[in-house]
Structure 1
Amino acid sequence: MADQERAQGRSARGQGRLEVQDLDVRIDTDAGSLAVVDALSLALTQGQTVALVGESGCGKSITALALMRLLPEGGRVVGGQVKLDGQDLLALPEARMRPLRGRRIGMIFQEPATSLDPVMTVGEQVVEAIERHLPLHGAAARERARQWLRRVELPEGAFERYPFTLSGGQKQRAMIAMVLATEPDYLLADEPTTALDVTVQAQIMELLRELQREQGLGLLLITHDLALVSGFAQQVALMYAGQLVELAPAEAFFHAPAHPYAQALLRALPDARRRDEPLAAIAGSVPGLSERLPGCRFKSRCPHAMPVCGEPVPLFRPGKGRQVRCVLYAPGAVPPSPGDTAAALQPSSAQRALKGVPPAAGSVPLLQVKNLSVGFPVRKGLLRRVVGHVEAVRELSFDMRPGRTLALVGESGSGKTTTGKAIVQLLRRQARVRGQALLEGVDLFALEGDALREARAQAQIVFQDPFGSLNPRLRVAELLEEGLQALLPQLGAEQRRERVQALARQVGLPADALQRWPHEFSGGQRQRIAIARALAVAPKLLVCDEPTSALDVSVQAQILNLLRELQQQLGLAYLFITHNIGVVGYLAHEVAVMQGGRIVEMGPAEQVLQEPRHEYTKSLLAAVPRLVVRQTADGPK
């Protein structure tokens, strides 16, 4: 009966509409009131998907939080309207907004680890959302929660488990189940598939398609995965430095991007066909909140910048449902000749110098993993005695050589992250680790004390969740110096400061980043801090656990170019844990495919990706979203 009433309510609302008009958001800081979102307008109808894309720090997540009226402390909406079926949400008192938040509009947050309550089981959290927003309680609410956990492909028993026992991808699916269980009319999804492998991503996106067909779900998809956008969204809204710079139908956006920023983004995508050359990364970074000057905010990075770009730039309408914030589309403007954009966006001469240089691979393995098995204890009884172990990794063996990248791919829960953590000695007190990990002939599992500390400088890790891996009580400079003080005590204070400043420049952090706190950065910027921290002690082996999963395309290109350059110069070996097959094809030399804690297929990257032999590998590659971009940029039309 309750489901029938909800269906009748949706039918009565018909084709609803969530509309944003001239939204202005500011954040009050010690430096003054700073504009985060500037005059943003877009509309979302039920049954439609609008993709909001752009670099980290452009204001995408703040836009979604503003629509939900969940801005952080100091944030406030100073102008514009957010209308839900004609009703201005910004004018409602909180008591009337609260029932709409979660029931009419749901939101999937970017970082699942900080969005789930650590002291409640996953099932309790889903039940709580259902009982708050739907007329279901007790056994009925629990049964509905279990149904949704199954729909997002979580394993049996997830209902009774706590968030810390789940992998990053499993936590993301739990949060998706919690939001979708209330069947909202509109969903604001902030990087909903970032932590998911490609097969689960395909399942989640198919589930969202199904909900759009069944109940007319309107989806605002915030993502940096342009391949996903091309196959799912009807409209693309591109943001830069708080402003909307292009709004276009998805097909038109990917076939002929208009704004120079859009063209640059598509040229920065990693691809196996470009593995012998650096990616066309966009120089510089998004201007900080205090650096946003009048006029076009992309002008300092634009290949077509001209004096008139310093004046305020409105949104122009060049036709075919497209809006572009660029003077190249002003009435009477002369667009650049074909090929100008392509030439301007080529890699720099310094980057091109690396093209064709073979990796400095040694003949002797840097790391030899032999029969690695990792078991986590199962505890029962009042005294929580260990009664057994669950094997997360089983009899793994592989070699890694200097200057080479081994990509470890597979679904969430297959044991990829556990393998990486075991190698860098982070599971000694949490799990039973058997086998050997020989780093230059020395078994890491047998080391203790000073010998172990010295070995840690040789093998570092970049974690999947940058927010959870950075100490919130330390400034960025202190975070980067922390490892140097612990693992390289022979360096003086001045040497540490110089290395920290150089690292910040290498990973593209803004000049004022070193004196700021982790919470002041976007998710992608925090990932760059984590990468800089791992590189600070000059390791020989770097375990990269989804290091680009939180990065947008342009920053991803910068990081991949950086990793590639460091590998060429220093002979670094990378154990690259990822679900991004495009990155695997571009960066990896060898690929190992994991399923159920075992390696089911391993070989040269080109062979595994183009001619997979194992059925699991074939299904994994079949789920990868594809984006074919024209290799020649014609310039704005």
Structure 2
Amino acid sequence: MGDILTVKNLTTHYTTPDGPAEAAGDVSFTVKKGEMLGLIGESGCGKSTIASSILRLIEYPGKIVSGEVILDGIDLIRAKDKELEKIRWKDIAVIPQSAMNSLNPVYTVGDQIIESILLHEDVTKKEALERTKNLLELVGIDKGRWKSYPHEFSGGMKQRVAIAMALSCNPKLIISDESTTGLDVLTQAQVIALMKDLQERLDLSIIMISHDLPLVTSICDRIAIMYAGKIIEWASTKEILEDARHPYSQGLLNATPDLLNPDKEVTSIPGSVPNLVHPPSGCRFRDRCQFVMESCAEKIPPLLEIKEGHHVACILEEGDDNE
């Protein structure tokens, strides 16, 4: 599978009274055609900032400082606004965190999907309506409900409408930004199963942003783990589960209960994420790391490919390479 999206050295800051906060620092990763990539980390680590930066929707006090976001040979960071208007929704779509807030309460769900189709596709209103009905059926909603208003739907159905809207212009890539947060466990499982089914049937590429490690490992092909604005490990889901190398990745796995292994000891990661206005020198995880060494304060460890497809940013891995 070839890469559909390439993010290179992307850095995004937020202006604060105390100085710039580096919400995303020198972030690099790729998304392959037809794969689901999980982007995971604690709240505030920069996941949603990455999503907004990819779409170039960062507004003041946010600012994209440097980097590239390449989609089909086009750098979205440097593309003109009119070019971006054509790319958003048609080539890249977003499933928002809260469908309740993203759907307009005074329009029917069908009219909202139709509007997005007419804005980006050269079709008649009749054709857009027919596509809308098909999309609703695709996500498990009776097509006759296109005339319903958002308040007539449950939370799970609203989320399905948001998925249908994201699919409305046949995008190459979908960014799901914590789209199951706030749903009950049963509804969450249904929505996740639906997204995985659609990804496989339609050969979609999806970036699944979440803080829920069990959820991401259950459906994603590869996982990129973020900490304090940086990707610290990036590999296949199998590699992360069986051979996580970064101490933070190991800590996340150890902090996750295992229903198949009830005797597993669950341990938390001590401390808290650093202040991104005044981050610590060197490795940003060093104040919480059980393997910390003096050299960890000297430089920010680069994201190295320690074996094919497995990238880690940790001085312990640099040491292995140098021996």
Does the pair score TM above 0.5?
Answer: yes
After superposition, the Cα gap between the structure-2 partners of 1:135 and 1:324, relative to the gap in structure 1 and judged at 3 Å, is same
Residue aligning to 2:254:
267
How has the CA–CA distance of structure 1 residues 329 and 192 changed in structure 2, closer, same or farther, with 3 Å as cutoff? same
How far residue 225 of structure 1 moved from its aligned partner, in angstroms, is 3.6
User: Which stretch has the larger CA shift, 165-174 or 272-281?
Assistant: 272-281
Aligned equivalents of 1:47 and 1:272: distance in 2?
Answer: 30
Contact kept, 8 Å, 1:51 with 1:223, in 2: the verdict is: yes
The equivalent position to 1:199 in structure 2, one of 190, 203, 213, is 190
Output one character per residue of 1:438-472: Cα deviation in whole Å (capped at 9) or x when no partner.
Answer: xxxxxxxxxxxxxxxxxxxxxxxxxxxxxxxxxxx
**Cα drift, residue 294 of structure 1:** 1.9
Matches within 5 A, 1:207-218: 207-212=198-203, 217-218=204-205
In structure 2, what is the equivalent of residue 514 of structure 1? Answer: none
In 2 relative to 1, CA 31–137 (structure 1 residues): closer, same or farther, beyond 3 Å?
farther
C-alpha separation in 2, matches of 1:15 and 1:333: 28
**Which of 123, 132, 135 is the matching residue for 1:145?**
132
Could you say which residue in structure 2 is the equivalent of 1:285?
Answer: 272
Counterparts of 1:543-582 in structure 2, within 5 Å, are none
| In the alignment, structure 1 residue 59 sits paired with structure 2 residue 46 | yes
Amino acid at match of 1:280: T
**Distance in 1 separating the partners of 2:45 and 2:107:** 34
CA distance in 2, matches of 1:200, 1:252: 26
Q: Report what 1:233 is aligned to.
A: 220
Hey, what does 2:304 align to over in structure 1?
A: 316
Structure 1 residues 166 and 291: alpha-carbon distance in aligned structure 2, compared to 1, 3 A threshold: farther
| DSSP 3-state at the match of 1:265 | helix
Deviation at 1:37, TM superposition (A): 0.3
Deviation at 1:74, TM superposition (A): 1.3
Query: What is the percent sequence identity of the aligned residues?
Result: 36
Deviations 1:289-337 (A, max 9, x none): 32422211111221112221112222233223211111111135799xx
Q: Equivalent residues in 2 for 1:12-411 (5 A)?
A: 15=2, 17-155=4-142, 157-194=144-181, 195=183, 196-212=187-203, 217-272=204-259, 279-312=266-299, 313-332=301-320
Whether the 8 Å CA contact 1:248–1:322 is kept in 2: the answer is: yes
* Deviations, residues 408-436 of structure 1 (Å, cap 9, x unaligned): xxxxxxxxxxxxxxxxxxxxxxxxxxxxx
Q: In structure 2, what is the Cα distance between the partners aligned to 1:332 and 1:279? A: 28
Whether contact under 8 Å (2:134, 2:143) holds in the other structure is: no
Instruction: Kindly report which structure 2 residues correspond to 1:479-494, keeping only aligned pairs within 5 A, or say none.
Output: none
Take 1:304 and 1:137, find their aligned partners in 2: how far apart are those partners?
62
- With over 3 angstroms needed to count, the CA separation of the structure-2 counterparts of 1:120 and 1:284, relative to structure 1, is farther
Judged with a 3 Å threshold, the aligned counterparts in structure 2 of structure 1 residues 132 and 324 are, in CA distance, closer, same or farther, namely: same
Deviation track 1:496-546 (CA, whole Å, cap 9, x = no partner) reads: xxxxxxxxxxxxxxxxxxxxxxxxxxxxxxxxxxxxxxxxxxxxxxxxxxx
Code of the residue aligned with 2:192 in structure 1: it is: Q
CA contact (8 A) 1:82 1:90 kept: yes
Note the residue ranges of structure 2 that are not aligned, 5 or more in a row.
none
Q: Which has the larger radius of gyration?
A: 1
What code does the residue aligned with 1:152 have? V
Deviations 1:586-611 (A, max 9, x none): xxxxxxxxxxxxxxxxxxxxxxxxxx
* In structure 1, distance between residues paired with 2:154 and 2:72: 38
The letter of the residue matching 2:201 is: E
Letter in 1 for 2:304: F
8 Å contact kept, 1:153–1:200: no
**Contact 1:328/1:334, CA 8 A, preserved across alignment:** no
Structure 1, unaligned stretches of length 5 or more? 1-13, 336-637
- Once the two structures are superposed, the pairs formed by residues 581-620 of structure 1 within 5 Å of their partners are none
| Alpha-carbon shift at residue 101 of structure 1 (Å) | 0.5
Residue by residue over 1:567-600, the C-alpha shift from the partner in whole angstroms, topping out at 9 and shown as x without a partner, is xxxxxxxxxxxxxxxxxxxxxxxxxxxxxxxxxx
Name the CA distance, whole Å, in 1 between partners of 2:110 and 2:81: 28
Secondary structure at the aligned position of 1:189 is classed as strand
Which amino acid in 2 is paired with 1:205? K
- In structure 1, how many angstroms separate the alpha carbons of the residues matched to 2:37 and 2:263? 35
Larger RCO of the pair (alpha carbons < 8 Å, separation 6+): 2
SS of 1:90's partner is: coil
Give the superposition deviation at 1:231. Answer: 4.2
**2:189 is aligned with what amino acid?**
V
- Structure-1 separation of matches of 2:216 and 2:262: 23
Change (3 A) 1:231 1:166: same
For the 8 Å contact 2:257–2:264, the answer to whether it is kept is no
Task: Return the letter of the residue paired with 1:208.
Answer: Q
One-letter identity of the residue aligned with 1:317:
E
- Take 1:284 and 1:171, find their aligned partners in 2: how far apart are those partners? 37
Q: CA deviation at 1:87?
A: 1.7
Deviation of residue 154 (structure 1)? 2.5
Number of residue pairs aligned between Structure 1 and Structure 2? 318
Residue type of the alignment partner of 1:132: L
The corresponding residue for 1:448 is none
How much has 1:29 moved relative to structure 2? 2.2
Distance 2:320 2:166 in 1: 48
Query: Which amino acid is 1:210 matched to?
Result: R
> Take 1:18 and 1:127, find their aligned partners in 2: how far apart are those partners?
27
Q: Structure 2-normalised TM-score?
A: 0.90
Paired residue secondary structure (1:296): coil
Aligned to 1:557: none
